[in-house]
Each structure stands twice: as structure tokens, then as C-alpha cells.
Amino acid sequence: MSPERLSQSGPEYLAQRHVLTYMEDALTQLLEHKDEVEPSSIAKFFSEYFTSVSRGTHVLFREFAFVQCTPHNRASFLRLFWRCFRTIAKNGDLLTIKEYQCLLQMLCPDFPMDLTQKAARIVLMDDAMDCLMSFSDFLYAFQIQFYYSEFLDSAAAIYQDLLSGKSINTVIVPTSRSATPCQRQPSSDSVSLEGVEAPQFYQCLENLCERDRHSTPPLPLIGQILGTAPRLTFYGFLMALSKNAGINHSIGEWPDVHRG
């Protein structure tokens, strides 16, 4: 048992691990299949459900609202996506955005297209959205966009405020409730500029990471990225996130798709 677990109260541990979310889902699943489950098999049903949660197979063919509702679910979906379609990486195939969307919807029928498009913009930028992408390029961009989607929405809003000339004292750091649902990508004019001052951007992101209840990339790694240059564009920030090995591993053990 980890020292962190010993320092937590029971309710804190349950909340951190989203145990109640899974209990509610298990009960919902049981009620939906009550005619198929014998009373004597209820314990076995719950055992198999939580085994699937542990293995990460519980998100397969589930609705998007469930797939994205916990960090574990998101990481599980990413691993399933890799396992199901890794032959694409091995074969070196190049696919379009629509083709990647079709693959995602094979695992999650209502997976939203806007998340796929946002991931593609990290690889291609807005002016090349019809180009083909390798599986590895898309995968690393997609996992950052999908796993940290709320953080990136808020970071994009902060970047646009700084780009418009607001000082660090007047920038409003979005909360999970005030963040816009769609990530504001920098326009082509914004990309051509020098961007914003990295130290200012970092201070705003530090504040965001302290407040945000959603998953955020490890702050020291964000600091490393923003410490490489005095200024940066938001597109450059997204690219650096997707290529950072430490941030990728913070999501979980991830296969080296470049090796196949």
C-alpha cells in the first residue's frame, strides 16, 4: 500500500479512484441485464465487471460520455485503440482524418469528430487538414488531446488572452465550469506571430493546474517545455506536449509505435 493511500481518508480515496462511478455503472449494467443474470450469479457479475475495469476492457463499445468520464477510462480507451489498430503502425499506412474517425467510432460509436479534428490540427495545422497522417503521428497527438482535453481548452483560452495583450494580472484562468467547450485554436495570423512570452504563459498554466479538477500534464514537464525558448506559439506548445516522452508516459505505459 502506497504512503499516499495511507494519508487519505476513505471518501478521498474513493473519489480519487472514481469508485462510486464504477459502482453506479455496474448497477446500471446489472439492471439492464437482470433477465440474463441469475440471483446466484450477481457476485460473479460484479467480479467480472471490476476485472474488466482493472484490465481496461470495460470501455469497449461504450458511449462517449462513459469513455471520457474518468482518467482511467480515457487511458483504457487509448490502449484499446492502440491494440486494435497497431498493425496500421507496423505497415506504415497513412490515413485521413475521416478514416481515423471511422476507427475511433468502431470502438466508441458516438465518438465526437471535433476531438479527432483537434488532434489532426496538432499534426497538420489548419491549412493542411486534408493531408494523410501516419498512425504514430496521429496517435501521440490524439492521446494528448483526448486525455487532457479540458486542460487544453483552458490553455487555449489563456493563450488567446495573452496574445491579445492582456497582462498576467488580468488574464482570467478558466475553471472546469467556465472553460469553453471547444478548444480555440490559434488562427493562421497568430501562428505567424512570435506567440506569447513563455514565463507568463507558464505562470498562468501553473495557476490553472492548481485549480483544475481535471487531469493536467505534470507541471515540472510543462516547465521544461516552456523553458526551452523565451516565446512560443500555442501550436508549438501542442507539438511539444505530444512529443514529450515524460508527458506521454504520465498517461500510462505506452507502446513505442515508432518501433512497431
pLDDT reported for residue 250: 83
Distances, alpha carbon 149 to alpha carbons 110, 145, 215, in Å: 17, 5, 9
- Scanning the structure block, which residue is given the C-alpha cell 496521429? 138
**pTM for the complete prediction?**
0.83
Q: What is the pLDDT along the chain (260 residues), one digit of tens a residue?
A: 555 555 667 777 777 788 999 999 999 999 998 888 888 899 999 999 999 999 999 999 999 999 999 999 999 999 999 999 988 888 888 999 999 999 999 999 999 999 999 999 999 876 667 789 999 899 999 999 999 999 999 999 999 999 888 777 666 666 544 444 334 444 444 444 578 999 999 999 999 998 877 889 999 999 999 998 899 999 999 999 999 988 888 887 555 544 44
Task: Dihedral sign for Cα 80, 85, 91, 92, please.
Answer: negative
pLDDT reported for residue 180: 41
Measured CA to CA, the distance from residue 185 to residue 201 in angstroms comes to 16
